[in-house]
Amino acid sequence: MRCDLFCSVVDNFGDIGICWRLARQLQSEHQWQVTLWVDDLVSFQKICHSIKPNLASQLQNEVLVRHWTVVLPELTESDRPDLVIEALACTIPPSYLQWMASFTDKPLWLNLEYLSAEDWVHGCHALPSPHPTLPLQKYFFFPGFTEQTGGLLRERGLVDSLVKSRNSTELQQQFWQKLGLLDAMNYQQKISLFAYSQAQIRPWLEQLANAAQTTLLLVPQGQLATDLTQLFSELQTGRFDHNSLSIRILDFMPQPMYDELLACCDINFVRGEDSVIRAHWAGKAFIWQIYRQEEQAHLIKLQAFLDKYLQHASQEQKACIEQLHMAWNLEQDISTEFATFKEFSEQIQLHNKKWQEYLIQQQDLASNLVRFAENKLIMSRNFS
């Protein structure tokens, strides 16, 4: 099976993060030949350090990475894939669509949509949509949290590996040493903070600084890291210490290291789509900052997720998790909500374990996608 996967790096690396994970999994676990077309190799290099942005074509982790430019290189019949994936609202070039339409055995065309917990996706998942002018149709494929969707990205053995990191002091020490954080194990609480801007973050930081418990706050590079550097000039060196709080800015890291970071922290603030899925597999308490949309439309999507995630939680748990999520997503002071969240930390941990077990019972996104594509291709070729 051959697959062309198109990815446009819109912002914040979430799009390329998802596509890079999917491409690697299709290759390593399903033995597909994958070509990943990416329009921004400089951003891609941030999460895959071996990428060479000046090359038009290169092999990375057995995946062929090609630079998606305005004018595509000339394609021949030998380049024809079995499957074409249009990922996360990017638009395949018209010249490529015309090339697809020229074949008798046309490639299967999938539109990999954004993650959604809203119930309406159940009726739209796997539906076809004919092209208005070309003899092509594409199918909508929705990642999600139920068996009526395409599922979530989850590599084979990932959860077991993260459980080992979570339960092993020795493995955690080795991880912190790899990051150059030799004193990380000395802190009573470790929090990863990956977020968009937060206008009212200072009161919460002061709360952490004045707490009896020591906190190591780990902030990956991004918008919030930039904002915090402006708030605390000392962070220009990558570190700021005040009473019980130590803030460290982290350089971009390969995806497997970020997964391990989440497993080694006690609480994870995550943003967008890629990191929230990884927080599920890390199994720790998490707070999700969903991608912002106009007219607060994202809050409806967030509530749809919380309704599913908290369906079997106690009323007290549900209230404290919902209140913290809403305050964080509205850029409000979260000091009060976070304190309540901490009081329920043990119960939240148990709830997350049950939620994770529920998700693991479902098939992962790559396997669902492979099964769907192979069935459709067999049907179309037998029919033709």
Tell me the catalytic residues: 15, 273
CA trace torsion 348, 277, 287, 142 (10° rounding): -110
Q: Which pairs with CB-CB distance under 8 Å and at least 24 residues apart come from 250-257?
A: 250/179, 250/218, 250/219, 250/220, 250/221, 251/221, 252/46, 252/47, 252/220, 252/221, 253/47, 253/179, 253/220, 254/47, 254/48, 254/49, 255/17, 255/20, 255/21, 255/47, 255/48, 257/175, 257/178, 257/179
249 Cβ contact list (under 8 Å, min separation 6):
219, 220, 221, 225, 228, 229, 235, 238, 239
Residue 340's alpha-carbon distances to 83, 193, 346, 364, in angstroms, are 48, 18, 12, 34
Residue 9's alpha-carbon distances to 47, 53, 224, in angstroms, are 12, 14, 19
Angle at 117 between CA 116 and CA 119, to 5 degrees: 110
345-360 helix and 335-343 helix, angle to the nearest 10 degrees: 80
Nearest C-alpha neighbor of 257 from the set 174, 195, 329, 189? 174
Contact predicate 329/322, CB 8 Å? no
Contact predicate 300/261, CB 8 Å? no
Q: HEC states along 63-93? A: EEEEECCCCCCCCCHHHCCCEEEEECCCCCC
Nearest C-alpha neighbor of 66 from the set 83, 82, 79, 49? 79
